[in-house]
Homo-oligomer: A and B are copies of this chain.
Amino acid sequence: MAPVDNGAQTETKDQAITSTTAATDPYNVEAAEILASSAQHMPIAQAAPIYEQILSLFPTASKFWKQYAEAHMAVNNDDAIKQIFSRCLLNCLHVPLWRCYIRFIRKVNEKKGAEGQDEIRKAFDFMLGYVGADMASGPVWMEYITFLKSLPAQTAQEESIRMTAIRKTYQKAIITPTHHVEQLWREYEHFENSVSRQLAKGLISEYQPKYNSARAVYREQKKYVDEIDYNMLAVPPTGSFKEEQQWMAWKRFLMFEKGNPQRIDSASSNKRIIFTHEQCLMYLYHYPDVWYDYATWHAKSGSIDAAIKVFQRALKALPDSETLKYAYAELEESRGAIQPARKIYESLLGDGVSATALAHIQFIRFLRRNEGVEAARKYFLDARKSPDCSYHVFVAYALIAFCLDKDPKFAHSIFEAGLKRFMHEPVYILEYADFLSRLNDEKNIRALFERALSSLPPEESVEVWKRYIQFEQTYGDLASMLKVEQRRKEALSRTGEEGASALESSLQDIVSRYSFMDLWPCSSKDLDHLARQELLAKNISKKAEKSAVCNGPATLDKIPAVLASNSNVFGKVIYPDTSRSVIYDPRQKLGTHHFFFMRLEFHLAQQCLGSRLLLTHCQILLDWHPMYLMRC
């Protein structure tokens, strides 16, 4: 078979993969399964690149590794097989793959006499060290014991050594919760009795409780394991029910193992926990939380180095996960390894040109924490030159200058410098105003609002107007308060979002002006009612404007129809039981988030929810009292 042919055929397969999956996501499980099964009927030279391709996407798919190894085994490519096993075994703690490995080792070493037997024994030990804790490892333990029993023993000493090896293996096997633990126990009893009835009695009564415990744990553990699909391919989370179910199954299993249900020594327990984590990662390879939990568990168990290795593997699996990088950097930083931490931060910054604003900010914070005021300042002064440096970086650094460096003047100058670039960013204006209000700098706050509102288009100035009004409610007199409210109405009426009628002052404005924190000048029922009215009024004014334009009976005719169609919705609405609501209760002791959240929860508890009502409440809370949200 010429290599040229090979190449050509592979390319066709490549195209097949591409055409099946390119349009959607590369992790197309179905396509991979089809490809793998088609590879089974090809000569190995043709199949190998296909396996490589599949395995580059699914590096923890033990079934494909096994199939790949078996394809080579069919033609006795021993070197290739060894290569494959060296690449996959330690990342794929799955019994069938490892049994395939043992088959290979036995086949290779069968004819090599004592030396070969030693190799096989080592392979068994190696395997059981990695997957001996697997519930499916029973047959491996049995096979090992059978193998040990089959070993020749010429002298009495050799016989004694062999017996000891068999006994030790039995004693490990019967304290491992596997499907075959009962059978292994019966065999062990038989074994000891066949060796020495007298000795057996003592040993069996010594191991009986350990076996009992293993069997009890097995029965419990089986329920967790039964929930797990060991055939699943590792794909990035899509949020499917199957995936969530598997994620939960693994979480529960891990939690169970972490509880050390067998009450074994902590070293053995930790080994089991590591085994379960590693196995879990075969399937939840693309889940940053699983990697993170694993690393954290290592760190908490005192193995910082192991934790760091997990992070390094995690970043190979998920090189784009910023979250994992921050977590990794945090671990390094908190153990005092500032240089390694800095390297990770630098990797987040990339070449610096296309660094995200968040990466700049976190690096500045890191520098401020670990290298001091000057290092942070220097980095900021460089970073702000980048055209991609957003207002966030200015805000973050100004807050550092104010809160940490206690340098309000410099902080002020940063905000002022940023204003030249970010005058068009309402959020920046609000942050700047917030900062000035910490300085209690009334004059500059007012000036800032005026500057911003003279340049922002009305549709971008909604929040700025709101804050300006809140400001006047706190700092201004009645006339300035009313004047800004009126100006806001005039400015925003031009956006078309609010109708002409919105220009008029409404009772809602009064409620908003004369509220304070969670105190309202009316009952919660009144608030519900007013909010509902506001919503209805918006519809009226929209319609009225339309009819003012058309000014004909055609438009007016439509109103009753609209009402009629609404009536279906209205009929279904469940009104809240305001007596249970805590929002407006002045005695309530929770912060805003809770008060808002409880309200939402309460609404959601009513299952199929009339959306108009929730909207109403959101509006009442957000439109009327942004100030309160701001405060708490």
Chain A interface (Cβ within 8 Å of chain B)?
219-220, 223, 227, 237, 239, 241, 244-245, 247-248, 251-252, 255-256, 259, 288-289, 292-293, 296, 300, 321-323, 325-327, 330, 333-334, 356-358, 361-362, 369, 390, 392, 395-396, 399, 402-404, 406, 408, 424-427, 430-431, 434, 437-438, 440, 442, 460, 462-463, 466, 474-475, 477-479, 482, 501, 504-507, 510-511, 513-522, 526, 528-530, 532-533, 536-537, 540-541, 543-544, 548, 553, 556-557, 559-560, 563, 567, 570-571, 575, 586, 589-594, 596-597, 600-601, 604-605, 607-609, 611, 614-615, 618-619, 622-623, 626, 629-632
Give chain B residues whose Cβ lies under 8 Å from the Cβ of A528. 239
| B507 pairs with A288, CB closer than 8 A | yes
CB distance from A453 to the nearest CB of B (A): 14
| A600 pairs with B586, CB closer than 8 A | no
**What would be 12 A-B contacts, judged by CB atoms less than 8 Å apart?**
A223-B559, A237-B529, A252-B544, A292-B510, A293-B507, A322-B514, A323-B510, A361-B519, A392-B519, A463-B590, A593-B629, A600-B618
| A586 pairs with B520, CB closer than 8 A | no
Give the complex CA separation of A515 and B323 in angstroms: 10
CB distance from A277 to the nearest CB of B (A): 14
Of B259, B326, B330, B626, which is within 8 A of A593 by CB? B626
Give chain B residues whose Cβ lies under 8 Å from the Cβ of A474. 399, 403
User: Given known contacts A427-B632, A521-B326, A604-B614, is B289 in contact with A530 (CB within 8 Å)?
Assistant: yes
Nearest to A220 among chain B residues (CB) is: B556
| A589 pairs with B426, CB closer than 8 A | yes
Nearest to A223 among chain B residues (CB) is: B556
| B440 pairs with A406, CB closer than 8 A | yes
- Specify how many copies of this chain sit in the oligomer: 2
Of B251, B392, B540, which is within 8 A of A517 by CB? B392
User: Given known contacts A357-B586, A597-B622, is B517 in contact with A427 (CB within 8 Å)?
Assistant: yes
Give chain B residues whose Cβ lies under 8 Å from the Cβ of A511. 323
Give the complex CA separation of A506 and B622 in angstroms: 31
Interface residues of A: mostly helix, strand, loop or mixed? helix
CB distance from A607 to the nearest CB of B (A): 7
CB distance from A575 to the nearest CB of B (A): 6
User: Given known contacts A255-B544, A399-B474, is B536 in contact with A248 (CB within 8 Å)?
Assistant: yes
| B442 pairs with A239, CB closer than 8 A | no
Of B293, B326, B334, B607, which is within 8 A of A504 by CB? B293
Give chain B residues whose Cβ lies under 8 Å from the Cβ of A600. 614-615, 618
Give the complex CA separation of A626 and B630 in angstroms: 10
Give the complex CA separation of A513 and B323 in angstroms: 10
| A408 pairs with B440, CB closer than 8 A | yes
Give chain B residues whose Cβ lies under 8 Å from the Cβ of A559. 223, 227, 252
Give the complex CA separation of A362 and B252 in angstroms: 55
CB distance from A448 to the nearest CB of B (A): 15
| A475 pairs with B522, CB closer than 8 A | no
CB distance from A495 to the nearest CB of B (A): 13
| B522 pairs with A321, CB closer than 8 A | yes
Give chain B residues whose Cβ lies under 8 Å from the Cβ of A560. 227
CB distance from A194 to the nearest CB of B (A): 35
User: Given known contacts A442-B403, A611-B607, is B586 in contact with A390 (CB within 8 Å)?
Assistant: yes
Give the complex CA separation of A627 and B313 in angstroms: 33
| B631 pairs with A516, CB closer than 8 A | no
CB distance from A486 to the nearest CB of B (A): 11
| A506 pairs with B289, CB closer than 8 A | yes
| A504 pairs with B630, CB closer than 8 A | no
| B571 pairs with A241, CB closer than 8 A | yes
Give chain B residues whose Cβ lies under 8 Å from the Cβ of A390. 586
User: Given known contacts A563-B245, A611-B604, A632-B430, is B544 in contact with A507 (CB within 8 Å)?
Assistant: no
Give chain B residues whose Cβ lies under 8 Å from the Cβ of A541. 255
CB distance from A406 to the nearest CB of B (A): 7
Q: Which 8 residue pairs across A and B have the least CB separation, nearest first?
A: A463-B591, A358-B519, A322-B521, A604-B611, A326-B514, A593-B622, A289-B507, A438-B438
Give chain B residues whose Cβ lies under 8 Å from the Cβ of A570. 241, 244
CB distance from A631 to the nearest CB of B (A): 6
Give the complex CA separation of A6 and B519 in angstroms: 49
Give chain B residues whose Cβ lies under 8 Å from the Cβ of A626. 591, 593
Give the complex CA separation of A478 and B337 in angstroms: 13
Give the complex CA separation of A506 and B293 in angstroms: 7
CB distance from A533 to the nearest CB of B (A): 6
CB distance from A227 to the nearest CB of B (A): 7
Give chain B residues whose Cβ lies under 8 Å from the Cβ of A330. 478, 510, 513
Nearest to A514 among chain B residues (CB) is: B326
Give the complex CA separation of A330 and B239 in angstroms: 55
Give the complex CA separation of A615 and B600 in angstroms: 8
| B252 pairs with A358, CB closer than 8 A | no
Of B434, B440, B540, B623, which is within 8 A of A255 by CB? B540
| A594 pairs with B404, CB closer than 8 A | no
Give chain B residues whose Cβ lies under 8 Å from the Cβ of A442. 403
Give chain B residues whose Cβ lies under 8 Å from the Cβ of A252. 540, 543-544, 559
| A567 pairs with B241, CB closer than 8 A | yes
Give chain B residues whose Cβ lies under 8 Å from the Cβ of A220. 553, 556
